[in-house]
Amino acid sequence: MIGLQHYLIVSAALFSLGMLGILTRRNAVNVLMGVELVLNSANLNLVAFSRFGSGNLQGQLFAVFVIVIAAAEVAVALAIVLTLYRLRRTSNLDEADILRG
């Protein structure tokens, strides 16, 4: 019998992998991929609680909002990465230190 905890464990694994990607990668696009993994794990949790919890659809609705915000986030973040690349010829986050005093 597959229950709530099975989904929570898959989601925890996905979250930790995304966190590892955010922490260890230096390429900006690769860090964004880590953020996407984290958002997907949160969504999986929301839908699992919606399925096994109170039995209404609110978790799924919230997941739709998370997807919308992820789309907006990726669009803006890629615009920033492209501008950074145009300015500095790099997409390495350690070299993006223009704002440092």
Partner 1 sequence: MSAEAVVFYVFGAITVLSGAVVVLARSLIYSAFALLFTFFGVAGLYVLLGADFLAATQLLIYVGGILVLLLFGVMLTHKLYDLDLRSEVTQFAPGIIVASGLFVILIAVAVRTQWTAGPGRPPSVTTAEVGRLFMGQYLLPFEAASILLLVALMGAAMIVRRRKLA
> Which of the residues 60 through 99 are near partner 1 (CB under 8 A)?
60-61, 63-65, 67-76, 78-83, 85-86, 91-92, 94
Q: Looking up tokens 């880590």, which residue turns up?
A: 34
Question: Which residue, 1 or 100, has its beta carbon nearer to partner 1?
Answer: 1
User: Are 49 and 12 within 8 A, CB to CB?
Assistant: no
Contact 18, 32 (CB under 8 A): no
Binding of partner 1 by 6 (CB under 8 A): yes
Cα–Cα distance for residue pair 13/52, rounded to 1 Å: 20
Q: Of residues 10-69, which lie at the interface with partner 1 (CB under 8 A)?
A: 10, 12-21, 23-30, 32-34, 36-37, 40, 43-44, 47-48, 50-57, 60-61, 63-65, 67-69
